[in-house]
Amino acid sequence: MAFEAIPKPSPRAPLVAGAFLAVAAALLAVGSYIGLFVAPPEHFMGEVQRIMYVHVPTAWNAMLALTFAFVCAIVVLFKQDWKWDARLEAWLEIGVLLSFLLCVQGSIWAKPTWGVWWDWDPRLTTTAVLCFAFVGILALRRFVEDPVKRATWSAVATIVAYVDVPIVYFSVKWWNSLHQTQSTPQTVASSMITPLRINAFGILFLIVGLSILRSQLARRKIAAELAPPLPEQDRLAPTGGVA
């Protein structure tokens, strides 16, 4: 049963994804409006702090996306199903995208606040290391031509890289630290919680919608790769005119 049934794209998927994306757009619009215009500026950092309403939700969702990728990787190894390989690919890409955005936002916030673009803080460094580790896995997926090997190996590499996350975090933490205390609803004023939460769910809906679309695309690609070769005359047809 290992990787046998060729996946079929689901006809309902675009509708479901569209619904998720619409909810995401609405939530992000409301959350960003409150974050930019309603919530008070922070006492020490002033208006700069408003990037928190994107930065912190991005951080939560980046970890969530990579955790989803890890879960997909385990299911790929146990169930050997193309559907889960497609989901793994989707969540890997989303995880890499979010962790890259996280580093960029972190730098934008760090420059006016700490005076430097980059700081060797555990969370920032861990995110950068994660970004590179998972970019490597995406590269692995491009280099391996055999679809079964590609699915198995990227699942193995995802598990190996995900297990590294806490080790990287604690090693960098012992090595050097400066980051401000993690922002959670408990550490910020109540007027700041609302936009933080709304944006967090907005990004969550956004990435779930994107992951549905991306995994449908991955399913189509796998189906095209596994499709039996075209009949002989069809394959020869384009070259027929060449003398």
Partner 1 sequence: MSVPVRQTRPVAPLAGAPARSVPGSVRPLPAPAPIAGPFAQLVAAFRKDVLLSWRSRAQAMAVVVFGATALLLLSFAVGPDAASLRRFAGGFLWVALLFSSTLALSESFRAESEAKALEGLLLLPASPVSLFYGKALANWLQLLLVGIGLLPILIVLYDPDLTRLPALAGILALGSAALSAPGTLYAGMASQVRAQQVLLPLLLFPLVVPVLLAAVKASSLLLLGDPMGQAGAWALLLAAFNGIYWPLCGLLFSKVIEE
Interacting residue ranges for partner 1, rule: CB under 8 A? 77, 129-130, 132-133, 135-137, 139-140, 143-145, 148-149, 152-153, 155-157, 159-161, 163-164, 167-168, 170-172, 174-175
Min CB(143)–partner 1 separation in Å: 5
- Does residue 46 sit in helix, strand or coil? strand
For partner 1, which is the closer residue by CB, 27 or 172?
Answer: 172
Min CB(137)–partner 1 separation in Å: 7
For partner 1, which is the closer residue by CB, 162 or 205?
Answer: 162
- CB contact at 8 A, 172 and 125: yes
The rounded Cα 26 to chain-centroid distance in angstroms is 21
Min CB(178)–partner 1 separation in Å: 16
Tell me the C-alpha distance between 57 and 112, whole Å.
20
For partner 1, which is the closer residue by CB, 51 or 66?
Answer: 66
Other CB atoms within 10 A of residue 48 CB? 15
- CB contact at 8 A, 173 and 28: no
What 8-state DSSP symbol labels residue 42? B
- CB contact at 8 A, 29 and 54: no
For partner 1, which is the closer residue by CB, 15 or 163?
Answer: 163
- CB contact at 8 A, 58 and 102: yes
For partner 1, which is the closer residue by CB, 21 or 140?
Answer: 140
